Every structure is written in structure tokens, then in C-alpha cells.
Amino acid sequence: MAEEIRSGSIPVGARMPSLRHVIAQHNVSQATATRAYYLLEEWGLVRAQERSGYYVAPGAGVSSPTAERVSLATAGKVDISDLVFSVLDAAREPDIVPLGSAFPSPQLFPLERLAKSLGTAARHLNAWSTVVDLPPGNEALRQQIALRYMGIGIAQPMNEIVVTNGALEALNLCLMAVTRPGDCVAVESPGFYAALQAIERLDLRAVPIRVDPVTGLDLDALAAALERHPIRACWFMTNFQNPTGVTLGVDKKRALVELLARHDVPLIEDDVYGELHFESDYPLPALAFDKHGLVMHCSSFSKTLAPGYRIGWTAAGRYAQKVQRLKLMSTLSASIPVQAGIADYLQHGSYDRHLRKVRAALRAQLVEMERAIRRWLPRGVRYARPGGGYFVWLELPEAIDAMALHRLAIASGVSLAPGPIFSPEHGFRNCIRLNFGHPWSDRIEAAMRGLGKLLTDPAVRVSR
């Protein structure tokens, strides 16, 4: 049944045979027939409709974009949250080896020094700051953020910077500022699952644009999609993209901004990993090439300094006032003492020295991850070396089902991030994302060795 669906022999939306029919045709028990449909549903091939039966799911017959080039994207509703939550919930146990985690190790961060800055800021906090520091945010913090933009050659006005509860809120507010329910939004495929969840929550339509693990976003496909669909916004990661780790070159970023300017389409630029570069310089974000205020650049300190402090921001260009008002209407303000504490750290805490240590640690951990991939995983596994961040994207042999691999890995005490959670069509079924953001250890080495063994297990293979 899976082979028939994947080949396209059974079209999307078609009603599958009833349980009674399957039991009679194959002479199996009701439990076996029910289990078969549960598996098809877990693989994203069918969807159950109450009192109606099972139907072929959208995208079930479409092969992974890593295997073939898709020239024209299609717009569609997103239904990803249940799949994402099921994966994330399974990886929450503290004894699980966090190869599927979205965060680097807290051991990389100067938490004691940061606590000192937080204490200093709290002791000197002006009572009026609880009113004055409402959006756009703490002035000293926004000044420090503006100085960091200046350090990479971007003259960023302070009045366009809005402090938020992490980058995810910044991204969501930017999306809300430029769209209405039913609008089309271009997203990466594979891409950050939180972008898909935001689109689902706001009742928007996703237009997936192919991302190649080596060359990055397919600008030709984006240009075609802009002609074909009324796209109102794009949500892209131009530096160390999650999950592939790929970074767009300078010329491609410039071409992206120029293309969107011709169509007057805003870019929501998710750049939370930009400071985690392995080369000497921060790769310029698309914001550096924006002359029209169309780029809303979003970042945070969650991946570089203070993962639990939830302080992010957006440099929102022409949309800054609208984003600021949406912030006031939703969560009002990010924590004022924490904003002041991070501002103090940026001024006095040697942030750049800390970043150099983090980059060196991540670079060393990537070397260990690559060695383990070569040593323990089958030869058919392919990946592209990221130039920063802490994720590596693996393309497994075609016969491997990443969701089945995920379930077996969790059962053996190891998490991984399966490809389908990064796609609105639940594609990339033979891909996984691994996290190398934790100090290498015997435990991680053993997890990689175990992962290699699981890849030979018949239970993770499907007929294609």
C-alpha cells in the first residue's frame, strides 16, 4: 500500500479501502489491518477522517526534493504541528542522547558571568524603566545591538530595533505584520519547523522553495513562485540554515534581495546562527543589501549566550512600528531586568571573547561528528559540511524511513530530528538532522555507533 501511494498510483485525496475490505482481501485480523493504517498514517501517507475512513495525504506521492529538482512550487495549507510535537515530546527525557536537540549544550555559555551582570542590572534598575522600557525595549540593549550591526558594516537605526521574547516571537510578529489569514508565504524546504507551525497557526498557505544542502535556496524556483502565486512574505535563513547548515553566498543574497524588491515582497530573515561562524568573519545577512526597508532581520542571544533568558530582537525596517504595536498587543514586553542584564554583559562581559571560545568548541565537535559519521554510518550516507551553527543534515539511503529510524532510536535512548518535520509536505523521508552542539563524549560516540547499527535494521526500511 505504501509503495502504491508513493508511486502516485493512488492519487492524493483518494479514499483508501475500508478496514473491513482489507481484512477480507488479505485474510488478516482487525488488529493487523488497524496497525497497517496506523503505520501509513505515521509515515505521512494517509490521513484519517472521523466516521469516513482513510485518505491519501497531500504530498504523499511526491519524492524528496533532494532527489529531484522541483521547478514550480505549489501553495497549500500546513499540517505539521502534531508530527513536530510527537518528535519533540519523545526527545525530552534527560537520559536521551540529544542528537535531535534544537539547542547547543548549556556548558558552552558563561552563565556565572551572565548572572553577575543580571545581579548588577537588577540592583541598579530604575523603577521607571518598567514603563520606559516597554517596546521597542531597553535603550542600552538596543544600543548594544545596533553597535554589533555596525561592527559588521550595517548602519542600523536604533528606532527600527524591537526587543522580543526570543527570536521566535520576533519572527512571528514580523509574519503577523505583513500577512492576513489565507495569504501565501514562501518557506524553505527543508526548513525550520517553527516557521511551518507559525503558518499553520495563522491560517496561511505555505509555498515551499527548494533548498539544496550545498548551493542553498533555489532562486529560480523562488522567481517562478513569485510569478505564479500572490506571495506576501518570505521566511528564509540565509546563514547556516536549519536543518541543512548551508549559507548563501554574497552574490546570491544580493540577488535574493533584488528579486524580492522587484516584487515588493518583504523578507523575514531568521539569522539566529550567524554569530556561530567557523571562518574569521560573520557572513553578511541579506539585510546588508536591503535598500528599501523590506528585510526584517531577526536574531537572539538564545543560541550564543543565554538559552533560557528568551531575549531576541528584530531590525524590522519599514515595518518596525507595526511590529512594535503587535508586541504591545500580545506579550507587552520582554523581561526588563533580563534586558538590562544582557545589556550590561554586552558592555562589560567580553562577549566577543566568549563567542570565539564557542566557535572553537563547535568547530572541534563538528570534526568529531564527521569522524563518527565516516566510522559508524554506512557509505551511502551523504552530508555537506556546514560552515557554522551546530547542525549536520544527512541524506540516508533511499530505502531508509527516517520516522521509523527516529522511533527505534528513541527506544534505544538516542534522539534525532527526522526529515518530515522540516517539510510542509512531510517530505525528506530518508533524511535526518543531527546536533553536534554538545561536547563530544563516549556516550555520544556510542550513540553514533548505535545509530549505524539501527540503519541496518530491516524495521527502518520500506519498499520504494
Average pLDDT, the chain: 89
Number of domains observed in the structure of the chain: 3
C-alpha pair distances (Å), 245 with each of 78, 216, 253, 389, 427:
23, 9, 16, 7, 18
Does residue 16 lie within any of the structural domains? yes
Q: In the listed set 320, 350, 380, which residue is the last one of a domain according to the structure?
A: 350
| pLDDT over threshold 70, residue 79 | no
Q: From CA 11, how far away is CA 16, in angstroms rounded?
A: 10
CA 162 to CA 165: how far, in whole Å?
10
Domain of residue 189, CATH code: 3.40.640.10
For residue range 30-40, list pLDDT tens digits in order: 878 887 887 78
For residues 298 and 403, membership in a common domain is answered with no
Last residue of a domain, one of 298, 332, 350: 350
In this prediction, residue 81 carries a pLDDT of 64
User: Is 234 strand, coil or helix?
Assistant: strand
Residues 6+ apart with CB under 8 A from 400: 430, 455, 460, 461
Whether residue 61 is predicted with pLDDT greater than 60 in this model: the reply is no
Q: 375, exposed or middle or buried, with CB in 10 Å at 0-12, 13-18, 19+? A: exposed
Statement to judge: residues 339 and 359 lie in one domain: no
Identify whether 62 is part of a domain: no
More confident residue, 297 or 47: 297
The answer on 335 and 362 residing in a single domain is no
Kindly report, residue by residue over 407-452, the tens digit of the pLDDT.
Answer: 999 999 999 999 999 988 888 999 999 999 999 999 999 999 999 9
pLDDT greater than 90 at residue 255: yes
Whether the pLDDT of residue 229 is over 80: the answer is: yes
Domain final residue pick, 332, 350, 368: 350
Over residues 309-351, the pLDDT tens digits come to 999 999 999 999 999 999 999 888 999 999 999 999 999 988 9
Q: Are residues 330 and 442 in the same domain?
A: no
- Looking at residue 29, its pLDDT comes to 87
Quote helix, strand, coil % in the chain, to nearest 5.
45, 15, 40
Lowest mean pLDDT among 6-10, 111-115, 162-166: 6-10
From the list 284, 242, 264, 238, the residue with the least C-alpha distance to 435 is 242
Same domain, 452 and 423: yes
Q: What is the CA radius of gyration of the chain?
A: 23
- Considering the domain architecture, whether residues 121 and 257 belong to the same structural domain is answered as yes
Contact indicator for 164, 330 with CB cutoff of 8 Å: no
Identify whether 75 is part of a domain.
no
- Compute the average pLDDT of residues 235-243: 98
Does one domain contain both 225 and 266?
yes
Q: Are 236 and 91 in a shared domain? A: no
Residue 154 pLDDT exceeds 60: yes
Q: Residue 136's pLDDT is what? A: 93
Q: Does any domain span residue 364?
A: yes
CATH number at residue 452: 3.90.1150.10
3 pLDDT tier (thresholds 50, 70, 90): confident
Residues of the chain above pLDDT 90, percent? 67
| Phi then psi dihedrals of residue 314, to 5 deg | -135, 135
Residue with the bigger pLDDT between 47 and 77: it is 47
Q: What is the pLDDT of residues 342-390, one digit of tens each?
A: 999 999 988 999 999 999 999 999 999 999 999 999 988 999 999 999 9
Count helices and strands (H / E) in the chain: 16, 14
- Kindly state whether residue 438 falls inside one of the protein's structural domains: yes
Same-domain pairing of 97 and 211: no
pLDDT level of residue 69 (50, 70, 90 thresholds): very low
Same structural domain, 333 and 360:
no
**Per the domain annotation, does 189 fall within a domain?**
yes
Clarify whether residues 21 and 87 are in a common domain: no
| Within a domain: 284 | yes
Ramachandran area for residue 193 (φ above 0: left; ψ -120 to 50: alpha; else beta): alpha
Question: What's the whole-number mean pLDDT along residues 156-173?
Answer: 96
**What's 24's domain CATH number?**
1.10.10.10
Is 27 domain-assigned?
Answer: yes
Range of the domain at 24: 2-56
Is residue 120 domain-shared with residue 193, that is, in the same domain?
yes
